[in-house]
Amino acid sequence: MAQPPGASPARRPSLGAVGLALIPCTAMCFTVPLWDRVTPFVCGLPFNLFWLIGWVLITPLFMWGAYRREAARHRADGSDP
């Protein structure tokens, strides 16, 4: 498929950005045997619910970090992010 005039080619993300994006996914999906229990209660919630809500709330920080890494990489290359 031809690119529109003035469009830059797609680039692969950096390993650091992919790593930052995979941290929340790994924490929520692949650590289930470590936190799959109801007790103790944290802030009135069962531990497993607290764990998932906590990761859902901090995931944007990891995505922001991945974006910042990619933006810095594009600035260093002289291309638009």
State the pTM of this model.
0.76
User: Does residue 59 surpass a pLDDT of 90?
Assistant: yes
Instruction: Answer yes or no: are the C-beta atoms of 53 and 45 closer than 8 Å.
Output: yes
List the one residue out of 28, 27, 46, 24 whose CA is nearest residue 37.
Answer: 46
- Within 8 A by CB and 6+ apart from 18, the residues are 66
| Residue 63, token pair as written in the block | 């995505």
Split at pLDDT 50, 70, 90, the class of 15 is very high
Split at pLDDT 50, 70, 90, the class of 34 is confident
Average pLDDT of span 58-73: 94
User: Does residue 7 surpass a pLDDT of 80?
Assistant: no
Instruction: Answer yes or no: are the C-beta atoms of 15 and 61 closer than 8 Å.
Output: no
Predicted local confidence at residue 1, as pLDDT: 57
Domain boundaries, the chain: 15-77
| Residue 47, token pair as written in the block | 């531990």
Predicted local confidence at residue 6, as pLDDT: 67
